[in-house]
Structure 1
Amino acid sequence: MIKGSMVAIVTPFKDDGSFDEETYRSLIDFQIENGTDAIVPCGTTGESATIDFQEHARVIEVCIDQVAKRVPVIAGTGANSTSEAIELSRSAEKLGADGLLLVCPYYNKPSQEGIYRHYKTLAEVVSLPQVLYNVPGRTGINIAADTTVRLAEISNIVAIKEASGNLTQVSEILARAGDKIEVLSGDDFLTFPMMACGAKGVISVTANVAPKAVKDMVVAVQENRWEDARKMHLDLLELHSTMFIDANPVPVKTTLSLMGKSGATLRLPLCEMSADKLETLKGVLKKYKLI
């Protein structure tokens, strides 16, 4: 269920900052029509840090309704408080999510034992398949390979989204626990090398704007068409990098706006990119014929 080309989908807002449900539904259809294997709402790209609990539930509810069982919905329900993560996760379970994406507790910098107990507790009280999310550049703490290997012994912890950028760590997880936990790329520009090591797919930012291209590269790896996949990876590299010339999701939301698919409204403290970065973005998007 949790494999292939999955999108960490944006949460579109109206000009007044409220959730734009109509646009969200159209973005979901755009993804499914272009072969995306799973929708991941309320992740980092979905601005989970600035949506309240009520909005969080509504975004997931609309996603599940619009997807209508066509692909899995893996709901982002992580928090830096274990009790809050439990509340968000139970809500997503009741709404009908197929799985959970659980970011490593951020800001408070727990020990590896604290990280282990956080995820173990969640797994014990919420029965859905759970995906660990390691993104130390955002959280301030790395989920060590040893901790992931320990957590892989828990039956409903089924995958980890690895965005550490550390291929050695990824390889160690696969070598020691690859038969117990799936590894997913959390960095678009590392999807190909990670899949070459044994990762099963990507939870992608770039797929928001180029879902077919991301899916085609993943399928090429799945079909062992390595030369095709390598070429697609290298061809997409500049687009992947440009999606991170500013804090995610600023570039991807700006891109969707330029493509006419969504507004560019962000919630503070995120704001529009500088004029020079915008010109750089436009140049790359023209190169890829996205605008």
Structure 2
Amino acid sequence: MFDQSKTYYFVTPVLPYTPDGTIDERQYRSLLRTFLQDIYIDAGMALIANPEAGEVFYLDRAEKRRVVEIAVEEAAGRVPVFAGVIDTTTAGTVAVAQDAAAAGADGLFVMPPIGALDVSSSWNADAYPEVFTDMLHAITASVDLPMIVHPTSSPTPGYGIGIPARATRTITEAIPQIVGWKMTYNYDGYRTLTRTLRGLDRPVKILGAAAVYFHENLATGAFDGTATGSWNYAREAMFEHIQAWNRGDLDAAQKIWNGGLAQLQEYVYADYSRLHIRYKIACWLRGLISSPDMRAPLPRPKQDEVHTLARLLTDTGLSVIDDDAVSSYLHASTAA
């Protein structure tokens, strides 16, 4: 199903829960269907089941598999479905990858190892790329599917929260299954990684992640598609903005970007410790899920975030739920 020659706009969906904290399959299907309309399918929309925005780190193995099964069922072969694979051990990550393949995923969404500080907050990717490549080799020995990399690593001034350029080259050269690189970087890091990826001897898609940079990324051509959670709340405006750029209509692109979309994205991405809760609050405010609650220890919404996002969504021309529904949730949340 996946075609490396095509442009794909991968969405990383949030994951709704029932009041008792289990996955709400009905709402998840409904959310996926908002991205599976013909207009979006024709443009190249695609799905990533079990992304970070979908709280993959807090799902057990059975839940991860079920999420992939639902996404594959809803996609029904119309769009590619990549599946996030992660566990605290390499063996566990391989098992999750096997589950994803068995569930019908078209590709894998891979993340660097998690757990001990040796492989997470203190990992020096340039010096020790094998921390990641060893795990990727173990996956590919068992499951040979195309991979998109979610390259989060220790924050640095030059790159933000992405794997540095030298390590990126080493990893992509070692793992030919890598077909896309999610651009988690700050603006300067994005430019550096663009040159690195463009200099490889095979195509690896530059997939925009931080939607706050999309206007500039599109202007410079450093944009081969997306892998972002911003589709959860700003689907219509983002789609129109990208389509305007694709047809060379700069006036329309600027009008959309400066008509509220830039300010909305600037707020969402202003604090990375609140990024995924803001995705989910905004998705809830759009009426696409019934609650913005996440699994602890992920944070709870703040009243100021709810009100600010409601205002920014409205200013962008996007519909939101009514004030009574917002007040009811905030009252219940405060009482809890």
TM-score (norm 2): 0.78
1:160 to 181, 191, 205: 181
Residue 227 of structure 1 and its aligned partner are, at CA, apart by: 4.8
1:7 corresponds in structure 2 to 11
Pick the aligned partner of 2:200 from 177, 182, 204: 177
Q: Secondary structure at the match of 1:18?
A: coil
Displacement after TM superposition at 1:14 (Å): 0.7
- Is contact 1:136–1:163 with CA below 8 Å preserved after alignment? no
Answer with 223-232 or 159-168: which moved more. 223-232
Give, in whole Å, the separation in 2 of the partners of 1:138 and 1:248: 16
What is aligned with 1:129? 146
What is the aligned partner in structure 1 of residue 36 from structure 2? 32
C-alpha spacing 1:193/1:81, structure 2 compared with 1 (3 Å)? farther
- Corresponding residue number in structure 2 for 1:241: 266
CA distance in 2, matches of 1:256, 1:197: 29
The residue type paired with residue 162 of structure 1 is M
The answer to whether structure 1 residue 19 and structure 2 residue 27 are counterparts is: no
Give the residue type in structure 1 aligned to 2:279.
Answer: V
- Unpaired stretches in structure 1, ≥5 consecutive residues: none
What is the alpha-carbon distance in structure 2 between the residues aligned to residue 55 and residue 225 of structure 1?
A: 43
Contact 1:4 1:219 in 2 (8 A): no
Q: Tell me the CA shift for residue 101 of structure 1.
A: 0.8
Matched-pair identity in %: 24
How far residue 224 of structure 1 moved from its aligned partner, in angstroms, is: 4.1
Summarize deviations over 1:24-75 as a string: whole Å, max 9, x none.
1111111112516101111111011111111111011111111111211111
2:52 is aligned with 1:44: yes
Q: How far did 1:202 drift?
A: 1.1
The residue number in structure 2 matching 1:255 is 282
Cα RMSD after superposing both structures:
2.5
Provide the secondary structure at the position in 2 that maps to 1:203: strand
Unmatched 5+ residue regions in structure 2? 321-336
Query: Could you say which residue in structure 2 is the equivalent of 1:281?
Result: 309
Give the distance between the partners of 1:207 and 1:16, measured in 2 at CA: 26
CA 124–215 in structure 1, closer or farther in 2 if over 3 Å, else same: farther
Q: Which has the higher contact order (CA 8 A, sep 6+)?
A: 1
Write the deviation string for residues 111-163 of structure 1: whole angstroms up to 9, x where unpaired: 32322322233233321110111123689974222222233333321111120
Question: Following superposition of structure 1 onto structure 2, how do residues 193-272 of structure 1 map, counting pairs within 5 Å?
Answer: 193-195=216-218, 196-235=220-259, 236-244=261-269, 247-264=274-291, 265-272=293-300
For the pair shown, the structure with the greater C-alpha radius of gyration is 2
Larger mean CA deviation between 169-178 and 26-35 belongs to 169-178
